[in-house]
Amino acid sequence: MHVRGAVHRPGDSGWDDARRAWNLSVDQHPELVVEPVDAGDVAATLRFAAGAGLRVAVQGTGHGAAARGGDLAGALLLRTSAMRGVTIDAQRRTARAEAGSLWLEVAQAAAPHGLVALHGSAPDVGVVGYTLGGGLGWLARRHGLACSHVSAIEVVLPDGRRVRTTATDEPRLFWALRGGGGSFGVVTAIEFALFAVEEVTAGALMWPIERAPAVLRRWRDLCPQLPRDITTVGRILRFPPLDEVPAPVRGRAMVLVEVASLLGEEETEAHLAPLRELGPELDTVATGDPSVLLHLHGDPEGPVPGIGAGQVLADLPDGGIDAITSRLGAGADTALVGLELRQLGGALATPTEGAGALGAIPGAFAAYAIGVPGGGVGAEWISAELDAVMGALSAWSTGRPYLNFAEAPVRPEQAFGRTAVGTLWEIADAVDPGRVLMPSHDVRR
Ligand SMILES: Cc1cc2nc3c(=O)[nH]c(=O)nc-3n(C[C@H](O)[C@H](O)[C@H](O)COP(=O)(O)OP(=O)(O)OC[C@H]3O[C@@H](n4cnc5c(N)ncnc54)[C@H](O)[C@@H]3O)c2cc1C
């Protein structure tokens, strides 16, 4: 194979590093790992795979590796991690990120211009995988999904052809890529809008886990009254007993409400008053630089094992809160580290004009729970508890999963609806008739 990037084969020194996903629970065993350095390398890799009869699994970081799983027999793992680089056009308020770029890199490049991106909760999630799956971030109730603010996507198709897709060039493919995932080609770069934000009011209110039933009820009642400039997350979290965890919460189970607001301090405080009445033990909400948003959720930065599951809820009545607190609340013997409920609504409720395959996430909350295997907690126990809590919450599910939070295969018609999935299938058939690509979530499953 003629590529400038690294090629790793089983048995080579560095093989285990090359095949490792960010999610260490996924043990990937491809035939070969290739790390292209540019679009030419990507095309050469795809041509090589076609000649060798190999399928191609594309990966930026491996945050989303669980849905595809580690069995990559007969497949080449194409890792975009060497394709880095972010360019900011401050006047047009846009960024161009190469395929392997991380959100932290975009945020750092945009910040000197007073601009922010529609990133999510973790600094080291890949820009491309996140955006192809939708992109639900702190500012989504104000601006919508990240994929709705993409202006161009550069792709190498499975036959090696390079195309730049926009609303006017290859518009069907452009539509499919924005929320439809990785079923259509290897993205080599992506251009998207940035937003001028000088300050945010953000942080977390925390109470001991015993207060979870009351706090989650009060927060749930508050959500419909919050303007779209404020986004909150209700969460139960068992902080690990690690030195890097701040002493007041180290090793403790807490109930949290995280807050990200585009409003000033005074206005935000007024909205949060009903929560403050409950006397949080800790309160980190403060007004300052928007860079805090990348760390507000405290996601692990660097590879960790994790087994998670999610679903979108139309509603969260008391029965739903009881289902959560009885399994993860005070005194529960649980394998799960946490469960979060991300507030939806606002601009997420309806597709923006000209949106792609995923234009909205109708519903009230995106729920996601996770367990970390190790230290006496086995994967089977975690899976059983995920099934139990997600099963209990399914009574209030919208029935339409959000694929970025789905860590197991999902029937595509469930995620996109029958009409959209028919079009996605047609587009995938046209660009990848041989089903070479192995995306995390295949629209032709
Ligand atoms: C700690 C953590 C925090 C998260 N926070 C959020 C959040 O706030 N909001 C949210 O919406 N999601 C969030 N997610 C989910 C995340 O967006 C998905 O897992 C996403 O798929 C990760 O993209 P990636 O490129 O980092 O991962 P990868 O595992 O590398 O990629 C995931 C999939 O995207 C496709 N893909 C990636 N790169 C390319 C490419 N160049 N060309 C074609 N296809 C490609 C492939 O199908 C691949 O399997 C989070 C996940 C984790 C683990």
Domain-embedded: residue 1: no
Domain-embedded: residue 308: yes
The closest-lying atom of ligand 1 relative to the alpha carbon of residue 183 is 47
Of 33, 57, 79, the position where a domain reaches its end is: 79
- On whether both 157 and 229 belong to a single domain, the answer is no
* CA angle, residues 33, 51, 27, in degrees to nearest 5: 25
Q: Any idea what the CATH number is for the domain that residue 151 is in?
A: 3.30.465.10
Residue nearest to atom 44 of ligand 1 (CA): 182
User: What is the C-alpha separation between 416 and 281, in angstroms, rounded?
Assistant: 42
User: What is the C-alpha separation between 204 and 123, in angstroms, rounded?
Assistant: 18
The closest-lying atom of ligand 1 relative to the alpha carbon of residue 120 is 8
- Residue to probe by mutation, ligand 1, list 41, 63, 293, most atoms within 8 Å of CB: 63
Q: What sign has the CA pseudo-torsion 47, 52, 57, 59?
A: negative
The pLDDT assigned to 321 comes to 98
Q: Any idea what the CATH number is for the domain that residue 372 is in?
A: 3.40.462.20
Q: How far is the CA of 99 from the centre of ligand 1 (A)?
A: 12
| Alpha carbon distance, N-terminus to C-terminus of the chain | 30
Q: Are strands 86-89 and 115-116 parallel, antiparallel or unpaired?
A: unpaired
User: pLDDT by residue (tens digit) across 71-108?
Assistant: 999 999 999 999 999 999 999 999 999 999 999 999 99
- On whether both 192 and 284 belong to a single domain, the answer is no
Of 46, 79, 112, the position where a domain reaches its end is: 79
User: pLDDT by residue (tens digit) across 197-209?
Assistant: 999 999 999 999 9
- On whether both 364 and 224 belong to a single domain, the answer is yes
Q: Which residues contact 296 (CB under 8 A, 6 or more apart)?
A: 121, 138, 202, 203, 204, 258, 260
Domain-embedded: residue 445: no
- On whether both 283 and 373 belong to a single domain, the answer is yes
- On whether both 251 and 341 belong to a single domain, the answer is yes
User: What is the C-alpha separation between 350 and 140, in angstroms, rounded?
Assistant: 12
* 426 and 412 Cβ atoms separated by less than 8 Å: no
Residues 277-292, mean pLDDT to the nearest whole number: 97
Q: Does residue 219 register a pLDDT over 90?
A: yes
Angle separating helix axes 265-276 and 212-222, nearest 10 degrees: 140
- On whether both 251 and 239 belong to a single domain, the answer is yes
Q: Which domain holds residue 63?
A: 6-79
In three-state secondary structure terms, 171 is helix
User: What is the C-alpha separation between 86 and 84, in angstroms, rounded?
Assistant: 7
- On whether both 74 and 108 belong to a single domain, the answer is no
Residues 152-171, mean pLDDT to the nearest whole number: 97
Find out whether the beta carbon of 180 lies less than 6 Å from any atom of ligand 1. Answer: no
Q: Any idea what the CATH number is for the domain that residue 27 is in?
A: 3.30.43.10
Residue 159's Cβ-count burial label (10 Å; 0-12, 13-18, 19+) is middle
User: What is the C-alpha separation between 174 and 165, in angstroms, rounded?
Assistant: 5
Find out whether the beta carbon of 59 lies less than 6 Å from any atom of ligand 1. Answer: yes
User: pLDDT by residue (tens digit) across 357-383?
Assistant: 999 999 999 999 999 999 889 999 999
Find out whether the beta carbon of 299 lies less than 6 Å from any atom of ligand 1. Answer: yes
- On whether both 316 and 386 belong to a single domain, the answer is yes
The pLDDT assigned to 330 comes to 96
Q: What is the average pLDDT score of the chain?
A: 97
DSSP 317: -
Tokens of 437: 């690509």
- On whether both 274 and 311 belong to a single domain, the answer is yes
Number of domains in the chain: 3
User: pLDDT by residue (tens digit) across 223-269?
Assistant: 999 999 999 999 999 999 989 898 999 999 999 999 999 999 999 99
Of 51, 79, 107, the position where a domain reaches its end is: 79
Find out whether the beta carbon of 130 lies less than 6 Å from any atom of ligand 1. Answer: yes
pTM over 0.95: yes
Comparing CA positions, the residue from 275, 110, 106 lying closest to residue 205 is: 275
Find out whether the beta carbon of 79 lies less than 6 Å from any atom of ligand 1. Answer: no
* 341 and 256 Cβ atoms separated by less than 8 Å: no
Domain-embedded: residue 373: yes
Q: How confident is the model at residue 210 (pLDDT cuts 50, 70, 90)?
A: very high
Domain-embedded: residue 441: no
- On whether both 277 and 423 belong to a single domain, the answer is no
Domain-embedded: residue 243: yes
φ/ψ (deg, to 5) at 362: -65, 140
- On whether both 210 and 286 belong to a single domain, the answer is yes
- On whether both 227 and 328 belong to a single domain, the answer is yes
Query: HSE-up of 97 (CA within 13 Å, CB side)?
Result: 29
* CA angle, residues 277, 340, 393, in degrees to nearest 5: 105
Domain-embedded: residue 411: no
User: What is the C-alpha separation between 183 and 440, in angstroms, rounded?
Assistant: 9
Q: How confident is the model at residue 67 (pLDDT cuts 50, 70, 90)?
A: very high
Q: How confident is the model at residue 1 (pLDDT cuts 50, 70, 90)?
A: confident
The pLDDT assigned to 385 comes to 97
* 282 and 248 Cβ atoms separated by less than 8 Å: yes
Q: What share of the chain is helix, strand, coil (3-state, %, to 5)?
A: 35, 25, 45
The pLDDT assigned to 336 comes to 98
Domain-embedded: residue 275: yes
> How far is residue 123 from each of residues 21, 79, 178, 202, 239, measured CA to CA in Å?
16, 19, 21, 16, 19
The pLDDT assigned to 82 comes to 98
Q: How confident is the model at residue 413 (pLDDT cuts 50, 70, 90)?
A: very high
* 5 and 100 Cβ atoms separated by less than 8 Å: no
Find out whether the beta carbon of 342 lies less than 6 Å from any atom of ligand 1. Answer: no
The closest-lying atom of ligand 1 relative to the alpha carbon of residue 57 is 49
User: pLDDT by residue (tens digit) across 101-152?
Assistant: 999 999 999 999 999 999 999 999 999 999 999 999 999 999 999 999 999 9
User: pLDDT by residue (tens digit) across 306-348?
Assistant: 999 999 999 999 999 999 999 999 999 999 999 999 999 999 9
Tokens of 249: 């919460």
